[in-house]
Amino acid sequence: MAPRPRGAAGPVDERELLSAGDVARTIARMAHQVIEKTALGSPGAPAIVLLGIPRRGAPLARRLAARIAEFSGHRVPVGVLDITLYRDDLRRRPTRPLESTRLPDGGIDEALVVLVDDVLFSGRTVRAALDALRDHGRPRAIQLAVLVDRGHRELPIRADYVGKNVPTARSEQIAVLLDEVDGRDGVLLRRRSGEEVASP
Amino acid sequence: MKHLLSAENLDRDTATALLDTADHLKRTLLGREVRKLPTLRGRTVLTVFYENSTRTRVSFEVAGKWMSADVVNVSATGSSVGKGESLRDTALTLSAAGADCVILRHPASGAAHRLATWLDGTPTAVVNAGDGTHEHPTQALLDAATLRERLGSLAGRRVAIVGDVLHSRVARSNVRLLATLGAEVTLVAPPTLLPAGVERWPVAGISHDLDAELPGLDAVMLLRVQAERMHGGFFPSAREYSIAYGMNETRLRRLPEHAVVLHPGPMLRGMEISSSVADSPRSAITEQVRNGVHVRMAVLYHLLAGEEHAE
């Protein structure tokens, strides 16, 4: 039998895990959790900085900051942290384009940095982000917020704020869609039917 | 991209990607305490220079080090080149010694291309850091980065390249890259300093009258008068050259407000450019050097950070 070309293993089975409304509610809940866990605004609480990891972590961080401001009245600085130059898999793929890193004017020294990303999977992106942060300063603490945790960690890393836990198979794909990048909001689970049997 | 040998072979997408990467790297490193990225850890970069150079060699060395590559400098004096080893044998030796990238400056046009041919079948990448009077692609890239930064974009911008076009690899690389990026280039030089066949270059015009061109320009790129390559009288005197083609205060006033002055260095103050112009805010000469590091980091990133090229 002729080998099937990769990526043509059959029709893609797609299921919606979160609707646009669910995404908005999830971000709002995460905002409340950040306010509570960091004791935002109370005396002695550390300054908070949200850093989004491109691409979709960046708009997520901005939305999270907007909801935090709405619920608590405190404006938290938002930045973008590109981790491409710190990846451990650069030589396994064609050259990746870079995004710009933009830290808030106040920097991150002594701040409580909350890293924001769309999906937590192997944990390698977060590991790269921790390395990158070390070159930018010395935060008082670092926390992690993700919209979806899909499991399959390859490193001892966990999130402090999780929008939704989704048990997945490795071969499945999680697609987080955000209006700023994709034109609409939503979280999809994609699975190629017959994929498991098609693999050699 | 396996090698960077000439600006002529850079298509618009690749050139733009390199400039974008350089721009991101610049912003990423801005104001940082630790100007060191782990990206090229464990990769070995050799600079092999058969000609004198300060800024290009230093710029490549800094670029490599900021990305954590191991950079080894080989100069023609003090190496086996002095014992009569051929370029080919030197190249094979360097590759066998574990060079992931060889950055070559050589007085012979086409040397980098030859080197790349000899290294075919090895993983070693070659960057042309200037070959004779042929090309100097990273200089053209850093000039393009500087112009893009100062002018916002390159498409439709009018750039004059002024001076010793005949001996200038900087001019050749810039003409090609600027044309690829959509700028309109005019060459301004005495007839004796224009090469044969220049009318076939992708330029919008060729002129011998700098003053007539100035009012319509977005940028003036001055070239160094390369006395070391001149064997004969190309112009009557340095003073006369300076009067006809030197950039001075009077000429600066004839340029539009926004126009910028570039020089690849090393500059001969009082010859191609007056001191007051070189040090004025209209001059982007120090920015060129600064951008040179980021552009060369981008080149190393594109050559060395992706997956190995199948040979």
DSSP string, B167-213: T-HHHHHHHHHHHHTT-EEEEE--GGGS-TTGGGSS-SEEES-HHHH
pLDDT-flagged residues of chain A (< 70):
1-10, 194-200
Nearest to B135 by CA among B256, B251, B8: B8
> Half-sphere exposure of residue B89, counting CA atoms within 13 Å on the CB side?
7
Q: CA of B273 to nearest chain A CA: how many angstroms apart?
A: 36
What b-and-e string marks burial along A116-142, b requiring 16 or more CB atoms within 10 Å of the CB?
A: bbbbbbbbbbbbbbbbbbebbbebeeb
Facing B17 at nearest CB: one of A93, A97, A137: A97
- B248, B233, B133: which is closest to B190 by C-alpha? B233
Q: What pLDDT shows up at residue B223?
A: 95
* Residue of B191, B232, B183 lying closest to B209 (CA atoms): B191
Q: Is B309 on the interface with A (CB under 8 A)?
A: no
Q: How far apart are CA A10 and CA A3, in angstroms?
A: 13
Pairing assessment for the beta strands A12-18 and A186-192 based on DSSP bridges: antiparallel
In a domain, B174, yes or no: yes
Of the partner residues B28, B38, B39, the one whose CB lies closest to the CB of residue A100:
B28
- Chain A nearest CA to B67, separation (Å): 9
End-to-end CA distance of chain A: 12
B128 and B194 share a domain? Answer: no
Q: Which residues of chain A lie closer than 8 angstroms to B306, CB-CB?
A: 90-91, 93-96
Q: Which of A96, A99, A135 sits opposite B34 (nearest CB)?
A: A135
Instruction: Name B81's Cβ contacts closer than 8 Å, sequence gap at least 6.
Output: B50, B90
CA-to-CA dists, residue B152 to B149, B218, B220, B253, angstroms:
5, 11, 16, 22
Q: Do B163 and B280 fall within a single domain?
A: yes
Range list of β-strands (E), chain A:
12-18, 48-52, 78-80, 112-120, 141-149, 161-165, 173-177, 186-192
Q: What is the pLDDT of residues A76-114, one digit of tens each?
A: 999 999 999 999 999 888 899 999 899 999 999 999 999
Low-confidence ranges of chain B (pLDDT < 70): 78-82, 308-311
Distance from CA of B218 to the nearest CA of A (A): 28
Q: Is the ipTM of this complex over 0.90?
A: no
For position B65, which CATH number holds? 3.40.50.1370
CB interface of A with B, residues 45-104, below 8 Å: 82, 85-86, 90-102
Q: Which of A148, A150, A145 is nearest to A161 (CA)?
A: A145
Whole-number percent of chain B with pLDDT over 90: 78
Same domain flag for B278 and B151: yes
A6 touching B (Cβ < 8 Å): no
Cα B259 from Cα B147, distance rounded (Å): 10
Total structural domains within chain B: 2
Give me the CATH number covering residue A112.
Answer: 3.40.50.2020
The answer as to whether B130 is a domain residue is: yes
Note the pLDDT of residue B310: 42
Q: Which neighbouring-strand residues pair with A112?
A: A48, A141
| B86-116 tens-digit pLDDT | 888 888 898 999 999 999 999 999 999 999 9
Given an 8 Å threshold on Cβ–Cβ distance, is A95 in contact with B24?
no
Q: Number of folded domains in chain A?
A: 1
Do B142 and B235 lie in a common domain?
yes
Q: Do A101 and B37 touch (CB under 8 A)?
A: no
CA distances from B244 to B39, B162, B185, B190, B253 (A): 48, 11, 19, 9, 16
Q: B108: distance to nearest CA of chain A, Å?
A: 31
Q: Do B97 and B200 belong together in one domain?
A: no
> Do residues B150 and B273 both lie within one domain?
yes
B181 and B103 within one domain: no
Query: What pLDDT shows up at residue B78?
Result: 67
Yes or no: say if A48 and A72 are a contact pair by the CB < 8 Å rule: no
Q: B1 in a domain, yes or no?
A: no
Please, how many CA atoms are within 13 Å of residue B18, restricted to the half-sphere of its CB?
Answer: 30
Same domain, B74 and B153: no
Residues B300 and B165 in one domain: no
Q: How far apart are the first and last CA of chain B?
A: 12
Q: Is residue B2 part of a domain?
A: no
3-state secondary structure at position A151? coil
Question: What does the block give as tokens for A51?
Answer: 């850093």
Residues B249 and B305 in one domain: no
> What pLDDT, on a 0 to 100 scale, did the predictor assign at position A197?
41
B67 and B79 assigned to the same domain:
yes
Question: Is B207:B177 a contact under the CB 8 Å cutoff?
Answer: no
Residues of B forming the annotated binding site for carbamoyl phosphate? 55-56, 105, 136, 139, 265-266
- Cross-chain Cβ contact A85/B32 below 8 Å: no
Taking CB atoms and an 8 Å limit, are B38 and A131 in contact across chains?
yes
Output the pLDDT for position B14: 96
In this structure, the answer to whether residues B57 and B175 fall within a common structural domain is: no
Residue B138 CB partners (closer than 8 Å, separation 6+): B4, B56, B60, B127, B128, B129, B292, B295, B296, B299
Domain range for B50: 7-135+289-309
Residue of B28, B33, B300 to mutate for A, most A C-beta atoms under 10 A: B28
Residue from the list B17, B67, B306 with its beta carbon closest to the beta carbon of A91: B306
The parent domain of residue A82 ranges over: 22-88+99-167
